Structure 1
């Protein structure tokens, strides 16, 4: 008996190893293209900042205010609201409700375009807003000018975010990665030509960004409408206007969840504007936050993988597979996080030169290098836990956690350390880290205590409640009727 048990142990280990390997392959097929897309798309912001930063210190500070506060404010809302598409399409794909995925995509467009239009005045009146918030007049004026150039990017967000999530839930996101990578290369080239060679300044840098972003979107439109998603895109349908209210509710909770995470850094940049030598403080803080954000884009690939794998398995009704996927993805993300943490410790003192030649700003960035490396390590944990919540449709719970950990703990601690303890931007950053640590601990506890069978039941109820028969969506759409016959 003992010999049989001993003999079965290697087989068990071998079986576990195969399961881990298979899950790693599934994860990489989702995470790697998403990483490329996220890193290169955000990289366009960073490249633009680098070119504008070399125009002058005021231009760098102004761009930092717009990108870190205004753009992140809007980006957080629309990206977060688009994660409702991630939940619904992921679970629908797992349940083989393919025809509903195109409907969910169109509903997301309707909601997100309306949201972007409501947020448009934030860009139009950003100079006045920054002045009311107490920022220096010369920085606020330049920021207001730059913000007008961001309006075309504002209307890129509603379409692009939803399509990306629609494609990744059906494992077709490599096209997004390739399009983003090619556009990033084009963006660097255009920025060099417009700014360095033609000396077009801010208009040249922003024009290069607009062209590059919209080329990505046009490519995605061609892919979806051109017949590469035959099962999930059956054309435009009036069914997209049905059940908008429940989708809106999920979108709002999703938006609150993610935008609170992005606003957290934005609030700290705003607070940095009230420190002594505010221009240097804002510039240094924004450079470090851009590095963190770029690093975060890598781990958003794992957030995407966690969301897609969990939502797909919940849609299929396989609770154990969802639980196993969370373990494997978490392990992969932490391992990569340790590598980035070591790199940041080694090269943190030289990063500032990538964005500016101002020695005072570079020195301020160098002083933050230890805290920067800690934030890089934390980035490997928090996104995966948020991705699990998105896959299960628990964005509302995470929103409350973010409010408590970030704005009731992190920001007050940062203010006390930064202003009362006179630690400056170091104090603000320590407060940010404390908030992220608290959020990760709470989300980790909730994930460990999750009843995955209960999550399967909730996913099934959600899908069945919003399921529509394709023949009722459009009598003219015979492709949808064929899908029903096949099922």
Structure 2
């Protein structure tokens, strides 16, 4: 009897130790995750808040201006944002894995290569900003709304180039877990934006011009601060000055940037297509206003998910660079579970709020009623978005961008959009039908990413990361100069 009791006590102690070990591992991983996710969420809240604050002030100028602003920022700016953010995510893969492998010397060169690739891309996008009016009319948008949108798009060109500095410097600093400075600068910029928006649009009544000037200044305050932080001595290991090496071996960076751009563009343009389809339906102005409000709320929650996406990307890339497949898998579990828990809470809250959300952005009762009608779909979007972007972050950290791009094409554009058009137009569900179809596409994509992540051989991913690092960055031991092998 005594022997059996001792065995039971021993088993109990071992179980307790295993549970304690698991709790400790979760706690340690959560701390590493939140070091990246916390400032990243706040920064993305602040960055997204710049547009929302502008939209709130523009909404008090007039419904036509609000609809035009919504079109430009939901269609044109989201389009450009998707391309530049997607292409910049290649830097997230490279810097994250290089930092994990302690190949610090190449990170500054990767940053400069990304600047070259993204600036070239932004120049190619400029015609869209100059010809926004004719493009929107060609797509069937209201002529009066398109005329105001044309003015807003010209003012948006400095924002296009602000994205380049913003995305690249943030990813460079996040890979090193030095993103507290980004959050600090973001807080300053949003405070400046609120004051200037009130001053220019309410006090001085400069209208659209005042709102856009305030938005431009707010974006560039953050970027200038981040550039000073990187280039003036606060990143001594990873930034050693400007180098002609940035112009060498650009093609591998271009290829990874293109696959990254396609992957994220296909995701970010999904809601853009939803707005364009709505513009061709009955009561377009009210529908666009209501939908843009829902997308803005969805966007606020997406900033939380994008913070966890950044954390997943950094943690996976760092652990793969270090050669630890188990740590990479564990970080995925912790990040996904944390993000989903927050998404579930928000799902319940927004099911209850309904049309009350609309009055933050507009005084129109018709728009508020339309928002209330769409709120159940908004709540489900919030829930799905708490998982899907995090899994995309895993893909970025591991360098799977091209694979996920094919997944996105199938789920979003072969399943989601056609199904949404069918429900919206054939079954006359209007914007609700389009949104239901697109949610179905997102659900399928999320399931596919879960299966892909689960079935991945993470030991093999460690080897792939090591090959990439060894191929792209080496240091000559004789003169300690960086050379890149193709």
User: In which range does the TM-score fall when normalised by the shorter chain?
Assistant: over 0.9
Residue of 201, 212, 220 corresponding to 1:214: 220
Deviations 1:233-282 (A, max 9, x none): 00000111111101100000000000111111001100001101111111
Match of 1:23 in 2: 29
Match of 2:206 in 1: 200
What is the distance in 2 between the residues matched to 1:470 and 1:417?
A: 61
Q: Tell me the CA shift for residue 360 of structure 1.
A: 1.1
What is the distance in 2 between the residues matched to 1:150 and 1:395?
A: 28
Match of 1:153 in 2: 159
Match of 1:462 in 2: 468
Deviations 1:308-366 (A, max 9, x none): 00000000000000001001111111111111112211222201111111111111111
Match of 1:59 in 2: 65
Q: Tell me the CA shift for residue 4 of structure 1.
A: 2.4
What is the distance in 1 between the residues matched to 2:37 and 2:168?
A: 17
Residue of 252, 271, 282 corresponding to 1:246: 252
What is the distance in 2 between the residues matched to 1:330 and 1:65?
A: 32
Q: Tell me the CA shift for residue 470 of structure 1.
A: 6.4
What is the distance in 2 between the residues matched to 1:131 and 1:233?
A: 47
**SS in structure 2 at match of 1:356:** coil
Partners of 2:354 and 2:373 within 8 A in 1: no
Q: Tell me the CA shift for residue 469 of structure 1.
A: 2.1
2:339 is aligned with 1:336: no
**Structure 1: 5+ residue stretches without partners:** none
Q: Tell me the CA shift for residue 6 of structure 1.
A: 2.5
What is the distance in 2 between the residues matched to 1:277 and 1:331?
A: 40
Q: Tell me the CA shift for residue 54 of structure 1.
A: 1.3
Change (3 A) 1:127 1:470: farther
What is the distance in 2 between the residues matched to 1:46 and 1:130?
A: 22
Output aligned runs, 1:86-165, within 5 Å.
86-165=92-171
Output aligned runs, 1:271-310, within 5 Å.
271-310=277-316
Match of 1:39 in 2: 45
Residue of 364, 367, 375 corresponding to 2:373: 367
**SS in structure 2 at match of 1:368:** helix
2:428 is aligned with 1:422: yes
Deviations 1:121-158 (A, max 9, x none): 11110001111111111111111110001000011111
The more displaced of 463-472 and 322-331 is 463-472
Deviations 1:404-439 (A, max 9, x none): 111111111111111111111111111121111011
Deviations 1:54-110 (A, max 9, x none): 111111111111011100000000000000000000000000000010010000000
Partners of 1:99 and 1:470 within 8 A in 2: no
Deviations 1:368-399 (A, max 9, x none): 01111110111111011000000000000111
Match of 2:192 in 1: 186
**Structure 2: 5+ residue stretches without partners:** 1-6
Aligned length: 477
Deviations 1:153-210 (A, max 9, x none): 0111112101100000000011111111111111111101110111010000000000
